[in-house]
Each structure stands twice: as C-alpha cells, then as structure tokens.
Structure 1
Amino acid sequence: MIRSDSLHISLEILGLISGIDEFKGAWRALGVLAPDRLLALRRVATIESIGSSTRIEGSRLSDQEVERLLSTLQIKSFTTRDEQEVAGYAEVMELVFSSWQDIPLTENHIRQLHRDLLIHSDKDAWHRGGYKTSTNSVAAFDETGKPLGVVFETATPFDTPSLMTELVTWFNEERDANRLHPLLLIGIWIVVFLEIHPFQDGNGRLSRVLTTLLLLRAGYAYAPYSSLESVIEQSKETYYLALRQTQGTIRSAAPNWQPWLVFFLRALAEQVRRLNRKIEREKLVLATLPALALQIVEFAREHGRITMGEAIRLTGSNRNTLKQHFRTLVEQGHLVKQGGGRGTWYGLR
C-alpha cells in the first residue's frame, strides 16, 4: 500500500509548485513563437534529453553524436549498444510527443513503452516488455560511464507484478479523486516505480519517458520543449541521494517523500527556467538580428548545428560576409564555435 497521507507539504514545495503552474498557464497563452520556432526548440530539447538520459545510465555518446545519429535513424542498423539505446529512446519520445492523449497509464502501456524503448537493443531482446525474472539493483555511473556501485536494492521478481498493479491502480484512483496536486502525484509515482525497478534493464530511461508522458497528460504542454533529463544529468549525485533517502522509507509506516519531491520539483522548476530563458532569447533574436544572421541561427536551431558550407548554400552569400556574421553571433552569445579548420561548425549556446 502506498501511503501518501504522511506527505508533508513544505513552504518550498508549495512555492515550487506555484512557480511551475504559473509558467504552465503562461505557456498556454504564449502565442509569440511561430510553429517552426517551436519545432526547433523541441528538436534541440529532444537531442539533449536523449543524450542526457542515456548517459545517466552509462552511455558515452555526446549530444553532437546523438544529433548525427538521429539524422540516420531510417537506416535501422546500429553497431554499438549506445547507438541502439539512443535510437530506441528517440523513437519512444517521438511516440509520446505525438500520441500522449492515447497512452493512459496502464500496465500494458508501460510494458509496451519498455519494449519499444529497447527495440533496437540486441542484448535486451529476451526481456523487453516483460517484468524482471531475476533480482536487479540500481547502480550509478560517473561521467565516463564507469560504475560507481549500487545505490539501492529493489523489489523482488516475485513481488514485482503485484506491486506494479498496486502502483498503477493507486495513481489512477488518486488522480480521479483529485486528492493530490498532479506534480506531487507524478513525483510519488516515479519514485515508487524506481523503487520497484520492474524491468530487468531500462528502468531509469523508462522512468524519464513516463515522467514526460504524465506531465503532458496533466496539462504541462511545454514539457517537450525543454530537457528535464539534462537537468537531472547535471545534478546526478543529488538525484541518486534523493532517491536513496526516500526509497529506503517507502515500505515503512511513514514514508519520507520530502527528499525526492524537493529534488523532483526543483528539477521541474529548472526545466521551466531554462525554457523561459530560451523564449526570451527567441524574442530578442527575432527583434534585433539582421535577416542573414537570423537565417543562420534558425538553421542551427532546426538542425542542431551549422557549418560555413551549409550557410553558403542556405543564404547564397559570400564566405567573407558570412564570416563576419558568424563572428558577431558568437560574440553576442547566440552561437558557439566548435572544431577548427575544415571541421569548424557552430552550435547553439
């Protein structure tokens, strides 16, 4: 039984929820960004989310490598496990973004999302879409992909099916009864899901996909345009600590939800802050950039990067003119120069 009656709502939690919900309302009324600008924002956020979520679990692919891989997804042939995981994550995220209205929280849908998440992973073919059959525990990894050790123990394979049924039933009943704020409900659901760790592998990645799905279904329509996974990756130690502090108490008479919920809501608030900053920058760019510079920035936002050759083909301008525009865009903080010589390219800051 999940005991949310012991939940303590601190002033910090109330303030975080208030700020997030204020942005949620403002996003609905936004209307200042054209559809192509929103599409570009979503593409950048998607690349960041895929890269960060897979790196949290030990992948070593950079965002630039993820972006290059996404451009070849139609090939459907991936040579490394990292590439297989990125491809699966990308396809599941796109499914959630396009069809979240048709994916209610059920065990069948959770298992189907898990199967799709690992669809390209040869090593995981034997267990994808099915609950675990042997014990697993949560391990942390450093930035090089090296294991740091076990973070916490998880539910037994024997207990997993009944615990998942209980968790999904609890969520849907609580949502219908409207007893908890949606962000608290989602936060508690995710931390219990991770405590159960129902699948042999892929639980962390799936938990972040499910977080986005539940946010979208709760009306937080801005979620695809700013990467929550990137926020979590940049605070991994705090993430694992909050999980451990709460998960050790979940099966007690008085669970301590506070450590996890504070981390979760702070991460959501940072996601909102980053998106708000991007929107303000979009407005500024649209208002002040010369037409040629705006073309360059828009191409970089749509594709994740731009080279001099691409800029020449895009604009028809000569190299010297474009060099000056690139120099100005870098100086003003709109773009970051990467590489050197013939390998030079420009990405978003």
Structure 2
Amino acid sequence: MIQTDSILITPELLGLIAEIDEFKGAWRALGTLAPERLKALRHVATIESIGSSTRIEGSKLTDREVERLLASLEIKKFDTRDEQEVAGYAAVMETIFHACQDIPISENHIKQLHRDLLRYSEKDERHRGEYKTLPNNVAAFDESGRQLAVVFETATPFDTPRRMAGLVSWLNEARELKRTHPLLVVSVFVVVFLEIHPFQDGNGRLSRVLTTLLLLQAGYAYVPYSSLESIIENSKEGYYLSLRQTQGTIRTPAPNWQPWLLFFLRALQQQTRRLAIKVEREKIVMSSLPELAVAIIDHARQHGRVTMGGMIQMTAASRNTLKEHFRHLLEQGHLIKHGAGKGTWYGLP
C-alpha cells in the first residue's frame, strides 16, 4: 500500500501548487493566440520534449536532428537506436495529445504505451509491452561499461506485477476520492513507478510520457506547449538526487516524499513561467509585424528553417518584397542567417 499520510504540506509546497494552478486557470486567457500560433508553439515544445527525454537516457541526437527525423517519419525504418527511440517517443506523444481523455490508466494501457514507445527499437522487440523478467537495478558504470556498483535496487521481477497492480489501484482510487491534490497524485505515481522500474528498458521515457498524460487528464491543458522534459534535462543532477532520496524510503512505514515533490513541483513551476513568457512575447511580436513577416516566422518554426525560394513558392510574393521582410526580421533579431549564396537559409534564434 502506498503511504501518502507522511506527505508534509509545507508553505513552499502550497505556494508552488497555488502558482501552477493559477496558471492553469489563466491559460484560457493566455492561450488566446491564433490556432496556427499555438500549433507552432506545440511543434517547438514537442521537439524539445522528444530530444530532451531521449537524451536523458543517453541519446546523442540534437533538437535539430530530432526535427529533421520527425519530418521524415513516413520512412518507418531507422538505422540507429537513437533514431528508433526518437521515432517511438514521437508516436506515443502524438497518441497522448490526440486521445488523452480516452486512455484509462490500467496495467494493460501502460503496457500498450510501452509497446508503442519501443515499437521501432529492434533490440527491445522481445520484451516491449511486457514487465521485466530480469533484475534491472540502477547501477553506476565506468567508461569501459564495467559495472561499479548498484546505485538503487528496483522491484524484483517477481514483485513487479503485484506492485504495479497496487500502484494503478492507488492512482485510480486517489483520483476518484479527490482527497489529495492532483499534482501530488501525479508526483507520487511517477516516483513510485520509477522505483518499481517495471519494464526491462524504457522506464524513464515512459515515466515522462505518463506524466504528460496524467497532467492532461487532470486538466493542465497547457502542458503540450512547453517542454517539461527539457527542464528535467537541464537539471539532471537534481532529478536523480531527488529520485534517489525519496525512492530509498518508499518501502518504509514513513516515506520521505519531500525531495521528489519539491523537485517535481519546481520543474512544473518553471514550465508555466517559461510558457507565460513565450505567449506574451508571441503576442507582442506578432501584433507588431506585417502578415508576410509572421508567415516567414511561422514557416521557420514549423520546419526548422525557411528559404527565400520556399517563401516565394508559398506566398507568390515578389523576391524584392520578401528580401525586404527578411532583412527587417534579421535586423530585429527574429531570424538568423545560415550559409551563403544559393545555400542560404534562415532559422530562429
């Protein structure tokens, strides 16, 4: 049974929850951007989330490489493990964004999400969508790959089905009874899920997918427009430290939830603040720019780059008119120029 009676609601925790909920309530007003602007924000955030979440687990792909890969997902064949992981993560995120309210939290659906997450990973073919059959303790390794020590013991393969059943049951009961704040429920679910480490591989990525799903189901509709994963990637030391501090106590009579709750809620706070700044900047910039200039920035956001030739084709505007708009956007810092001559293209700063 998960013991949440020992959660200490400090003034800092209360303040974090209040600020995040205030942003949640204000999102309707903040989110009044045109649909194409919101789509562009989500596009950028999704690339950041996929890149960061896979890099946390060891991938080497940059956000730009992730973006190029996502532009050609119809290939369905990926040569490297990094590419396979990115493609799977992108597919699952798309499912969650479009069907979050139709995905009940059950063991079968968690297994299905895991199967989809690893759908392109050839190495994981045998175990995807199934609980682990071998121990997968979190260990430290030297540069040659030799294991130095076990950092954290996860649930045994034998205990995993029982403990996952208990976790899912606790979550659904907590959401139904509504005695615990939804942010605390999501936070506890994630840390216990990672402490169990139910699958042979992919647990970290799946935990972040489930975080997004649970927040969306709890009404935090702004989540797709600002990357929580990139905040975690930039605070990896704090992330792992808070996990270890709480996970080491979960199976005791009085778990210490505080380290993880503080890290998780501070990350959510940072996510809302980043998004508020982005939205306000969007409103100021877009209200002061001509329609053609906005179209150029939109194209750069959605495709990672924009070219003179591409905009001539798309808008039928003259080269001289577009040249003038590109010049102003460069001078104002909205675009950065890359390459020269026929190879010239423009990206966002």
Task: Render the CA deviation track for 1:17-74: whole Å, top value 9, x for unaligned.
Answer: 1111111111134452111111111111111111110011001111111111111111
TM score, norm. by length of structure 2: 0.93
Aligned counterparts, 1:258-337, within 5 A: 258-317=258-317, 322-337=322-337
Q: Secondary structure at the match of 1:255?
A: coil
Give the letter for the 2:179 counterpart. Answer: R
Q: Check 1:139–1:89 CA distance in 2 against 1; reply closer, same or farther (3 A cut).
A: farther
Per-residue deviation, 1:7: 0.4
SS at match of 1:346: strand
Cα shift readout 1:276-328 (whole Å, capped 9, x = no counterpart): 11111111122101233212111112223223332343344565654554454
RMSD: 2.4
| Displacement of 1:267 | 0.7
Q: Which moved more, 1:201-210 or 1:250-259?
A: 250-259
What does 1:1-349 correspond to in 2, within 5 Å?
A: 1-30=1-30, 32-138=32-138, 151-317=151-317, 322-338=322-338, 343-349=343-349
- Mark the CA change 1:318 to 1:29 in structure 2 (over 3 Å): closer, same or farther: closer
Contact 1:23 1:272 (8 Å CA) reproduced: yes
> Secondary structure, in 3 states, of the residue corresponding to 2:347?
strand
Scaled by the length of structure 1, what TM-score is found?
0.93
Matched AA of 1:59: S
Q: Match of 1:305, SS?
A: coil
Q: Distance in 1 between matches of 2:338 and 2:182?
A: 41
Identity %: 71
Counterpart CA distance in 2 for 1:283 and 1:229 is 25
Counterpart code for 2:249 = T
Q: How many angstroms apart in 2 are the aligned matches of 1:150 and 1:232?
A: 23
Shift of 1:79: 0.8
SS at 1:219 equivalent: coil
1:3 aligns to what SS in structure 2? coil
Provide closer, same or farther for how the CA distance between residues 258 and 54 of structure 1 changes in structure 2, counting only shifts above 3 A: same
Q: 1:35 to 1:164 in 2, by over 3 A?
A: same
- Structure 1 residues without counterparts, runs of 5 or longer: none
Decide which moves more: 314-323 or 116-125: 314-323
Q: Which runs of 5+ in 2 are unaligned?
A: none
Residue 166 to residue 10, structure 1, CA distance change in 2 (3 Å): same
Q: How big is each residue's C-alpha offset from its partner over 1:188-223, in whole Å with a ceiling of 9 and x where there is no partner? A: 100000000000000000000000000010000111
What residue identity is the alignment partner of 1:296? I
Aligned length: 347
Q: 2-side partners of 1:196 and 1:167: how far apart?
A: 10
Cα 1:127–1:9, aligned 2, differ >3 Å: closer, same or farther? same
Range moving further from structure 2, 247-256 or 313-322: 313-322
Could you say if the C-alpha distance between residues 127 and 318 of structure 1 is closer, same or farther in structure 2, counting changes exceeding 3 Å?
same
Aligned partners of 2:53 and 2:208 also within 8 Å = yes
Alpha carbons 2:31, 2:279 under 8 Å: kept: no
